[in-house]
Every structure is written in C-alpha cells, then in structure tokens.
Amino acid sequence: MAWREGEKIGPYIILSQLGAGGMATVYKAHHPELDRYVAIKVMHQAMMDDSSFQTRFQREAQIVAGLDHPHIVPVYDYQQFEGQPYLVMKLIEGETLKGQMSRGALTLEQIVDLMTAVGSALTYAHQKGVLHRDIKPSNIVIDKNNTPYVADFGLARITSQGESTISTDMVLGTPHYISPEQARGAKNLDARADIYSLGIVLYELVVGRVPFTADTPYTIIHDHIYTPLPLPRAVNMEIPSSVEEVLIKALAKDPQERYASADDLARAFREAVYTSKLTVLNPDRANIASISLARLRDEMQASVVTPYQGIPAARHGSTATKVSPINPKAARYWKLGGLISFLALCSLSSMIGLSAADNIGQLAETGFFELEQVQEASALSNGALYVVPSNMTVEEAEAFLTENPNDPILHLALAQAAWQANDSELAENALRDGLALSEDKTKYLLTAANIAQAENRTNAAITFSLLAYNAAANNADDLFTVRSIAGEYLYDVVETQNIDVQEIIQAALTEDEIANTGQAAPIVGLLVVRQEILQNRLRLAERTFNQVSDQYDNLAEYQLIQGELLYRQGQTEQARAQWEVILASEDAPEWITIRAQEFIDSLEE
C-alpha cells in the first residue's frame, strides 16, 4: 500500500512521492526532531513474499552504510514499518543525469566535472572492495548545485566476501551499459566492469548516443561482447582523436586493456580535453550520432558474410579454451560417425517417449541429427558456449520465440524453461527445432549439454555432449574445445552419477556392432574403461582398454585413464610415467593436465 502525504513512518513524516520503480518507491520525508529532510526508499508490498528481494534491500543498506564519500548518496538508517523494509537516505534536491540529458546535452565543462566526481566515488568504493555493477545515467543524481552523486547500490557486491545483493545466477546490469564480462555471466568481476559502464556513460555524453542499441536487450548484450565499438570519430568527426583514444581504452572488450581505476579514466579524459584544446561540443550531437550510428550498423550488416553466431558465454571452472592443432590421425579417429549418432538417437528418443520401433525413423525424418554435413571451415569462435537468457518462464520464452522464431538461442532458453517446469517433451522439441536453425552445431550442442547438466538432466547432458563430439569431428579446433568441455563432464559423470555407459551402448547397438565398432569410439570406449576401473573390475577394464590402445594411445584422455588402470593394478611407477607424458604435452586439454598433476601429487603423500 502506498504511503500518503502526512503519514508518519517511524519518526518521519511523508511529504511527497519522488519516484517509483519495479521494486521500491522513494518518498521525500521530514524528521521533525532533527529538522532533517530525507529520502525514504520503501520496498513494494508485492516484493515481500520474495526473500531474495528483502535480502537485496538490506544488503544495500549495509553496503552503502560502510561508504563515506562526498559523491556517494549516504544511507542514514534501515528500518521496517508494518513489515515493510525501508532505507533512509540523504535527500538530493535535483534530478538524475538521465533526466538532465533528456532536457539537452551537457556542456564539456559539466562532463569533465561529472567524470571527476563519479570517478572519485567509484575508485573509493572499489578501494573499499565494493562494486556497483549498475552504473548508468539514472543512477547518477545531480543536485541543484551541480554536485553529482552515485546512487542505488542495489546490485552492489563486496568483492572480498563474494557477497552480492542479488542471486549469483542472474546476468546483472542494464543492457545498454553492461560490461562484456557481466553479460557473459562472469562471477569474478572487478573494478573494470564498473569502469566499462562508466565509459559507456562518457561515450553517450560526448558522442551523443550509447554505442550499442537494438530492438531487444538480448541483441544489445551480444554487441557488448562481440561487436566492435563504433569509433567516436566515425560517428562525429568533431571529437578529437585524443578523446577517442580514451573511450576506446575505457571500452575495451578485454578488462585488462581498460583503465586500472575510474580515477584514471576521469583523469585521462580531462587531460585529453585540455591537450586537444576542445572547448565546446555540438549541442545537437545526439541527432548527429543517431544518424551516424544507424549508417554504421547498416554498413556492418551489409558486410557480414558469416552466419550469426549468437552470444557465447564465459566457461565455468578452470578449463580454458585452447586453440591448438591436434594430430591429424587423432582427429580422424575421434570422428564418431554413426556410432554416436546412433547412440544419441536412441538415448534421446527414449527421453521424449518414442517407441523403440519407430524412434530412429521419426527423428531421422525431422533432420535433427544431420551432423555429417557440418562444414569444416567454421571453427568455434567467440567462445565455446552461447549465453542463454535465464530465469525465463515457459510463457516468456515462447513469447520471445514468437517474435524471433529463427533464433536458435531462444530455443535453448525455452528448453531450459521447460526443464525447469518439468516439461521434458517441450524441452526436447525446442532443442530439436533450435538445432535445425543453428549454423554452429558444435556450439549449440555444447550449450544444450551445459543447460541439461545445470538442470540435472543427466541423460540429456550425456547425449548432447556425445553429439558435440560428432559435430566437431572434422574441425581440430572445435574438437579440442569439445574435449575441453564435454570431455571433462563425461569423465566426471561416470563417477558422480549412477549411470551405466555399457548399458547405454547396448541399448543403441547390436552385439556385432559393439564388438566391431562400439568400443573403438574413443570417448565411449574410454568412459566404459573408467567405469570398470571405478567398479574395480580391473580385468574387464584391461580387456576393454586393449581394444582401443592401438588407435588412441597418443591421446591425453587415453594416457590419463591408462594411468588410473595401472595405479589400481599396483603399477605405481608405470602410472606415474603415463601422467608425466600428459604434463609434457602441449596438446592436452587443461582439465586433463590438472587431473594428471593431482594424481602425481597424491603419489607423493
């Protein structure tokens, strides 16, 4: 329920409503005893049922209460009134930077002063270990004396404690101002994420428009990660090259290439302005920028000759994508061909409820698994996985798909939402349709496997991991990436999940096929060996291992598992020798090198 003018809230008397958002409303109030005017931010009653919002609200108070800076809006108090939490803050009589920009462009002097103040505030917060994570014009307030304040730490994070005011599985920030690493969902953010966002604000102030805009937030996020920055001078030739260089550095895709602090950014901008002898910016630069940016976007789209690749994400864990050639012989042998296609067909069909008699025919008719025609020229670029919009309901995902029916990543989003709603049939249908649309089958399948893993759909995760191997069979770089991601998952899953790899193969192939080709497919054969080792069936493991040893003994996966088998057989030094071969190799995926080192270290204990 909204608070009314004259209503007493604790010691405060409500005077008027200043604004309202999706989570809270802000009021102007007065404390009679202290004769102090304040701003009160109160959580909406509708948010009270969500404990995460309450936690976020309280954490904002705790975080900002520890900050004391002349350009950060201070929090005076945190209380509850009739069960509704509220923050008491300094009242800033003025307007947001967004509001000021809507009335007209700022002067150059105003921009320099604003950058100096905000840069100082952010640097102070960063030194205190606090990231803002949502720097944008609407979170910068300017009072009647033209003093800027950084406001709304509702998405802030304490870096030293890893604490955040919201759940860590969400992509944080506002699309137009979000840093590439935030857009990827990275968890190890540092000050340079805020510096990028501040750089976007500066770009908008100087150039006249934000660099990336589109019809959907999804496309904007993609552009922040991959689309080259529209050069300021290409948008407006009046901008000096020295100022352009500052913006380019602030908005580097790689955080390590940006300024080390917000103060450094502000200082560099100030020096660039003074050394260039720039004294005034065109007050009509917003209109100039709109026309120029539209032209640049059209030119870029006209020059694109490769298919749209979607939004890849930063990978989780310690594994890094390593683009490195592998032995051509190994690449040939890693082509799983019909085995994995057949295996995945049967495994997936069982998940979506097709009968054993007609499952292969029905799926084949859809063209779902036409992976042999994947072109070799398309190595995985721009990351290994797509960024998939999360926290969607099925209805929301379907609504986005209605507007963008040919976007394969939205099919992934629908599949994730469907799994979360326990609708496996809808999930599998969405994945099938999306795969048909995807230009990069390997990346799509890896992402599908990753989503299935996150949603605890082990059979689907295994199936799509194996399919990714098949899709990447003709491209060494893609294959290395699949080995780095799917390989690690499959290696671990036989130990942590109650599955039977042998049973999966037997369900998919005849006895003759198993004898002739089943164990010769390396990823399947080696997984069977590892499971037999873990079950202490060492003779059977050795027999299975001998069937693949002649073809795959140059692969790090082979050497890792052979070391495990030798160790279980009591041949410690021979096991060590296998693992040391991995450490000396430059072609082993990182996770295999880590496992080998861990095994060797365990021998020393």
What does the pLDDT look like over 190-210, one tens digit per residue? 999 999 999 999 999 999 889
Give the E-state strand segments of 136-193 in sequence order. 140-143, 148-150, 157-158, 163-164
* Domain covering 8-90, topology: Phosphorylase Kinase; domain 1 (3.30.200)
518, pLDDT greater than 50: no
CA distance 197 to 220: 14
pLDDT digits (tens, 9 = 90+) for 86-96: 889 999 999 99
pTM: 0.52
What lies within 8 Å, CB to CB, of 351 at 6+ separation is 424, 428, 459, 460, 463
Helix (H, G, I), strand (E, B) or coil at 282: coil
pLDDT digits (tens, 9 = 90+) for 463-481: 888 888 878 877 888 888 8
261, pLDDT greater than 50: yes
Range 95-305 has CATH code 3.30.9.10: no
Q: What is the pLDDT of residue 152?
A: 83
CA distance 484 to 320: 7
Which active-site residues does the annotation give?
134
CA distance 378 to 480: 14
52, pLDDT greater than 80: no
The label of the residue with tokens 């069960």 reads 83
